[in-house]
Amino acid sequence: MKWRLMVAAILGLLVLLMGSNPNATNIVYSEPSVKTMFILHVPQNDNYNEKTCAEFDPEMALKEINITLWGLTLEISQKESQLYRLSKEVNITKDSQLLKRVVELYREVELLKSKRAFYQRKWQSIWLYKQYLNGEYIELTTKDLEEYKDKMAPLQNIKTPEDAITRLSVAGEMTFDRIILIDSEINKILENATNSKNVADNVITRVFLLINNESVLWNKLREYTSLRDELQAKFLLLKSNSYTPTNDVSHNCQLKNRNVKKVNCREIQKGYNEDFECCLSFYRMLSPLESYQTYTFVSLRPVAVWVGMYDSDFPSIGSHRGDWCTYTFPQDNKESTIRTLYWNTAQEISRKWGLNVKSIQIKFFYSARVYRQETRKYEETNLIFEYNCYLSGDSVRCLPSPSYGKSLFVNPKSPPYRYTTKIVTNPYWLACRSGGNCNGYGCQYAKWANAHCGGCFAPDKSASQYFAKS
């Protein structure tokens, strides 16, 4: 009973903190999703072991996630309370270092919220899997898609679940780009403001307004990702009808050819030999590398190029019309070379399918290794360079994204063995070997990897993407 009282207290604290009237000199947070807390309860067996397939129990997994959600929500509420107090103090003292601390604390809160949202998505996926094991039919009808359309603008004019999943992924990534632009503006303001002890009222007002705007975008990004994973989980379970749960109540595995046990949880699909721990690997997930910090990457290898097509003058969320992936990297980083390879192909596709492609976005994915202080060893990870191509007068420009501003390697096909760069982190974004061929370099050992175009590449143990930043 005590835990229920504590949960009620946490929720009450959140409502109290979030119920203030928003204004330009206070940081405002929208109320978290009702999925935040679910039904929290303590697992019955503290010695629960996740090592073997027979021990995978959806009920226990859900309880474990609930406990994690509980802890994250408590930590978030504590930090938000501190943030609310410090933001009021900044308005009184005008202290530049305190303003910087407010921004740092705000970023910590958003990272924790993203981590909580990640576990919420896993909860939803395992819940659907549990229903599937119980023989309940998982529906994803045209009517369902129509309801999803009403929820989110990016889902207008979609016809299939695959279209919806792709559209939500692109919308999320474009929203993240907008977040980075705001974050960069905050950094520039702080660089100028911290040269003196005190800051002007208009500087504080501007920083808090940017934080509020960025927080709205973070919430939108988490909404996109949540709905994307819900749709994908349903879609994958519907495709898994060839699997029939066994009558053996001692485990929740399923039988494949030659009586080989295979777990059919959300992350594991037909035809692959993933290890069981993939299902529960998010319990032991590493924290993401920190944004705006400098890291040294080694053993860089080009793995894939993603190209998104848009009918707007510059790539934007609502104008995405299609995308494709290729393993062809340019021979150099000259603008003319990139334009010839990707812009011209986009125009050919545009003519073939009757599209009106006015701009494209290109992501160059590299697998790499990076030293993790917490594990004291090198881990498989990824590094991404982002470019945009668009019409400028009578010519086409293909330049590094303004969100990151980092130019591609001089020889993109043969990157340096060791490369040091500042990064921007897109936290808790990757799928667990979701689709595609996972036999590429690094992926045979990876749990969390990029899954654009049904692929599996450029992995990372914290399920995060890393963009090279100038």
pLDDT 10s digits, 122-166: 898 888 878 877 777 677 777 777 777 777 777 777 778 888 888
Give the pLDDT of residue 140: 77
Query: Distance between CA 93 and CA 68 in Å, rounded?
Result: 37
97 and 12 within one domain:
yes
Q: Is residue 195 part of a domain?
A: yes
Query: Distance between CA 44 and CA 63 in Å, rounded?
Result: 9
389 and 327 within one domain:
yes
Give the pLDDT of residue 54: 38
324, 307 contact by CB (below 8 A): yes
Confidence of residue 364 (pLDDT cuts 50, 70, 90): very high
Query: Distance between CA 380 and CA 298 in Å, rounded?
Result: 10
353, 311 contact by CB (below 8 A): no
Convert the pLDDT of each residue in 233-288 to its tens digit: 888 777 665 433 333 332 232 323 333 333 333 333 333 334 445 555 666 678 89
Give the pLDDT of residue 160: 80
121 and 43 within one domain:
yes
Q: Which of 47-61, 307-321, 380-394 has the lowest mean pLDDT?
A: 47-61
Element (H, E) at 467: strand 465-469
Q: What is the mean pLDDT of residues 208-218?
A: 95
Q: Is residue 256 part of a domain?
A: no
Q: Is residue 111 part of a domain?
A: yes
Give the pLDDT of residue 280: 53
Give the pLDDT of residue 106: 96
- Top mean pLDDT of 101-105, 147-151, 447-451 is at 101-105
Containing structural domain, residue 160: 2-239
305 and 171 within one domain:
no
> Pick the residue with more confidence: 370 or 29?
370
- How would you class 4 by CB atoms within 10 Å of its CB: exposed for 0-12, middle for 13-18, buried for 19 or more? exposed
Those residues whose C-beta lies under 8 Å from the C-beta of residue 295, and which sit 6 or more positions away, are 289, 370, 371, 420, 421, 423, 466
324 and 203 within one domain:
no
| Residue among 368, 345, 364, 366 at smallest CA distance from 355 | 345
Q: Is residue 264 part of a domain?
A: no
CA dihedral 113, 132, 151, 114 (to 10 degrees): 10
Whether this prediction's pTM lies above 0.95 is answered by: no
Residue 465, pLDDT > 80, answer: yes
Give the pLDDT of residue 125: 84
Q: Is residue 212 part of a domain?
A: yes
295 and 224 within one domain:
no
Give the pLDDT of residue 448: 80
Residue 403, pLDDT > 70, answer: yes
Those residues whose C-beta lies under 8 Å from the C-beta of residue 266, and which sit 6 or more positions away, are 122, 125, 126, 128, 129, 232, 233, 236, 237, 279, 432
Give the pLDDT of residue 244: 36
Q: Is residue 16 part of a domain?
A: yes
Which among 239, 255, 273 is the end of a domain? 239
Query: Distance between CA 118 and CA 229 in Å, rounded?
Result: 10
Convert the pLDDT of each residue in 291-329 to its tens digit: 999 999 999 999 999 999 998 999 988 888 888 888 899
Query: Distance between CA 62 and CA 123 in Å, rounded?
Result: 6
Count of domains for the chain: 2
